Amino acid sequence: MTHLVFKRVTKPCEAEILRVIRNKCRTFMTRNTDEISPEQQQEWFKSAFKKYELYIAYAIEHGVCIVDAGYGLIHLNDGEYLLSGGLVPEYRDKGLGSALFKFLVDNCNKQQPIRLEVLKSNTRALKTYEKLNFCVIGENDKVFFMEYKYDSVI
């Protein structure tokens, strides 16, 4: 059985791991889908770690093997969180996306809105987010905009 552990990215050397993972996930991104070079990543990282919480998701298999499986990003902007993340192809369709986004939600202050974007064509991710209590709040021609719905206390 495979599960994920998460490491916060704080060092420039970790930014390269993040770049490689991000480039493998870029076909499912809703914004910049360009391939990022090592130089671009280092320049971006100089300010990014101050603005975002960045995580590398490592897959643990059989309690021993650790490999880079994905990334997560939490961005607090104007009083709301925007989540982003992805898994490399070999770790998709294993239920790990739920673990990744549950981790990201759990690391947000539950006093502010938590949002994310998903390509309309990415139906598997859409179903995952709905199971995690995200609801569609808007859309454009390519993207659904979703918000986390907190459980009501009755």
Q: Which domain holds residue 79?
A: 2-148
Question: According to the model, what pLDDT value does residue 42 have?
Answer: 86
Sequence-distant (≥ 6) Cβ neighbours of residue 70 within 8 angstroms: 4, 21, 25, 56, 57, 85, 86, 87, 88, 91, 96, 100
* Residue 89 within a domain: yes
Q: Is residue 154 part of a domain?
A: no
Question: What is the pTM for the complete model shown?
Answer: 0.90
Residue 153 lies in a domain: no
pLDDT in 10s for each residue of the chain, 154 residues: 789 999 999 888 888 999 999 999 988 988 888 898 989 888 888 888 778 999 999 999 887 768 899 999 999 989 999 999 999 999 998 889 999 999 999 999 888 999 999 999 999 999 999 999 999 999 999 999 999 998 755 4
Domain-located, residue 91: yes
What is the domain-level CATH number for residue 101?
A: 3.40.630.30
Q: Is residue 45 part of a domain?
A: yes
Domain count, the chain: 1
